[in-house]
Chain A
Amino acid sequence: MLRSWTIGLLTACALAGPALAQATKDTLIVDLPGDVATMDPHVQWDTESYSVYRNIFDNLVTRDTAGKIVPQVATAWRYTDPTTIVFDLRTDITFSDGSKLTPADVVFSIKRITNPAFRSPQLSQFDQIIAADVTGPAQVTLRTKSPYPVLLAQLVKLSIVPQAVVEKLGDQAFNQQVLGSGPYVLKSWQRGVASTLEANPGYWRGATPFKTVTFRAVPDIATRIADVRTGRADITRGLSPDDTAPLKNERNLQVLSVATERVTHLFLNPAIGPTRDKRVRQAIAHAIDRDAIIAALMLGFPKRADVMLTEAAFGWVGDVPFWPYDPARAKALVKEAGAEGAEIPFLTSPAYDRRVNEAVQQMLGEVGLKVSFVMVDQPTFLRRRQGTPEEALNMAQGRWSCACQDADGVIFPLFRTGSQWAKFSNAEFDTAVDAARVTLDEKERLTHYRRAFTILRDEVAAVPLFQDAAIYLARRELKWTPTPNEAFFVFDMKWVP
């Protein structure tokens, strides 16, 4: 009796031990699929770099968990005319070296990223801004080429860098020793291995949830999962729906997922070969059982997309239904077009889900179209997809995100005549997206986009498949809600043992 009581007490102590130790968690360990490309927030903007450096900087504006654009460095903004917008700024923000964040830093950041000579890969996100000026002790004014409704959505991604530090160090050295006003400070960056951030003690938005955050580059997904499972890491990203199946019953883990703004679709080339015939494109639309792909291959994680945009973006309309799955109709259309047995070359790279491609191949095979894959590496894929219609082939998978949550960043580059990715050309569509680009009136924009999506649907310029899900695996204690723009703000996380 006494014996068992002692054992019980010991067990209780043993159980309480680690729980107490975890009550104040000092270090958060994050496993990312790769290393940061640049720490300089005005250079690369891949998911890995984004996940790390955005914790070091503040942005002019940001999005709340509901996706609404809310103040961060700017407290308020107003349009004085359709091309001029005035921002009032906070005055209580300091960079981690103690210097004040001033309107001059904001103007410097905008001028830096929009300077063509700086050659930022993000330039196209900001190049509508033609002027930025300090117009008061806590005020900056931006001017855009034309009325530009996406400006605020783009500014969500604008990190404010300290002018004095960047000018003193130069761009090269700044990338190594970045310094911002954000909740964390870069402590070390071991290229290809890991980067470590430390809490910024005087952060203006309050105390940070962890003293230290370590981001490690772990390319293999099985290793990343094992790391979280054994507690060597606290959170990782980049899981496929299949990866989650064996994790369901693990009590110490949680699978977090969110429908992102990324729309997975099938590009159809209306400029060459059998897909020139609208009936063939329509047949392809009818032949693909999107619900089966989502339910069986994706285990229900993504949401079906009916237009070439996700609900997370402005411009989305719910009343333009896509062609239904109807293989009999598809077969009849293929026959009508005289395209039975036609070969459809499909450009792809290892970056795209092979299973979705193969499922599409089978579904099109069933209605009499022969898909043949042309596998190339990702840089070649991107080059050819942007190249001539002949280089782009008849079909390809796409997973588009503009990280701006606006239709302008999606259907404009993909389908507007003359833009980088477009092989589709339709005057009426062009008029609609051009008009939506230069008006600030949201209602009017939506009307234009509804028109644009209807044309895309009727002409079958692409087959929207689904709204991608971003899937994270975390320890149970981590409380965090992932967002559609795949931002990874450690400041928003919490550790609740």
Chain B
Amino acid sequence: MRGVSPGMALILLLLVAFIVAALAAPWIAPFDPLRQSLLMRLRPPGTTVAAGMYLLGTDDLGRDLLSRVLHGARASIAVAALSVSISLAFGTLLGLLAGWFRGWVAIAIMRSVDTMLSIPAILLAVLTVAVLGPSFLNLILVLGLTRWPRYTRVAYAQTLQVATLPYIRAAEMAGAGSARILWRHILPNIAGPLMVVATSEFGLMILFEAGLSFLGLGIQPPYPSWGSIMSVGRQYVERAWWLTVFPGACLFVLVLCVNLFGDWLRDRVDPRSQGR
């Protein structure tokens, strides 16, 4: 990896580690994350039983915390990835249309962007989940469909800029249709900044998922999520610190890595910070 500082290398390594851990959770988790053992409730990290060691302790139903954190990583990353994909696709499409057709299309789209941005996202998500009922799919839809305006803004501004460039004019004169120009010529040229937005949104989505699950509106029991593990742990802070500390630390490190990765990515795609 040319031009990657040692610090950045560490961040990338951690990110890869998180993703691998999430993907491989069913194979590397030492216990079944749903398997309760009522007699082994709230055991501290390092407790050993015949079946193995509870490396991070157990929760209030005697389930292995390490296994739950690993499976929770899966939930966090899956929710973030899917909801970012939805809002990225939706937001970019609207931004491209607004930037290309301008006029009333742009007015309609950009005013709805302004409207969406003026509604507190977490409140909207809480309300929607409360109405639709909490489920994995609803969680992804809610996060995906409340966060698109940021992409639309970036895509719109970038499209406006790119649309005036000579090669677009040339393509138009060569007879290319709007769809082809948007897909083949504009989208690749505005992808960089959009990826930067997507990265920072990814970190935010992980936090949102944890927040909603903490409130009981996200991943539903018995399936683990960092947010819901911490929500349970809150009741046991005095007795079982490990329930809040470990998922909290994972959340912190993962979001930090994602954000630093986003900064690094921005520096690479932003023309103003490109020295070459």
Contact = CB atoms under 8 A, between A and B. Distances in A.
Given A359-B38, A359-B61, A362-B222, A374 B133 contact: yes
A354 B236 contact: no
23 contacts: A222-B237, A222-B238, A242-B235, A242-B236, A246-B238, A246-B239, A292-B38, A293-B38, A296-B38, A296-B39, A296-B41, A297-B38, A297-B41, A297-B61, A355-B61, A358-B36, A358-B221, A358-B222, A359-B36, A359-B61, A373-B220, A374-B133, A375-B220
A350 B130 CA distance: 13
Contact of B134 (A296, A361, A375): A375
A124 to B, nearest CB: 30
B38 A350 contact: no
Pick from A293, A358, A374, A376 the residue with the most CB of B within 10 Å.
Answer: A358
Interface string B39-76: 10110000000000000000011100000000000000
A144 B62 CA distance: 53
Interface residues of A, number: 23
Interface of B: 34-36, 38-39, 41-42, 60-62, 130, 133-134, 216, 220-222, 232, 235-239
Contacts, number: 50
A418 B168 CA distance: 74
Interface in A333-370: 350, 354-355, 357-359, 361-362
A427 interface: no
A20 interface: no
A15 interface: no
Binding site secondary structure of chain A: helix
Nearest to A361: B222
A354 B216 CA distance: 11
Nearest to B238: A246
Nearest to B42: A242
Interface in A207-243: 221-222, 240, 242
Pick from A296, A373, A376 the residue with the most CB of B within 10 Å.
Answer: A296
Nearest to B134: A375
A245 interface: yes
Pick from B36, B232, B237 the residue with the most CB of A within 10 Å.
Answer: B36
Interface in A364-395: 373-377
Nearest 5 interchain pairs by C-beta:
A296-B38, A362-B36, A246-B238, A292-B38, A358-B222
Nearest to B215: A350
Contacts of B39: 292, 296
A238 B232 CA distance: 18
B222 to A, nearest CB: 5
Contacts of A246: 238-239
A355 B59 CA distance: 11
Pick from A293, A350, A355 the residue with the most CB of B within 10 Å.
Answer: A355
Contact of A362 (B34, B133, B220): B34
Contacts of A221: 235
Contacts of A358: 36, 61, 221-222
Given A246-B239, A359-B61, 10 more contacts: A240-B235, A242-B236, A242-B239, A296-B38, A358-B221, A359-B36, A361-B222, A362-B35, A362-B36, A377-B130
A373 B41 contact: no
Interface string A287-331: 000001100110000000000000000000000000000000000
A397 B9 CA distance: 51
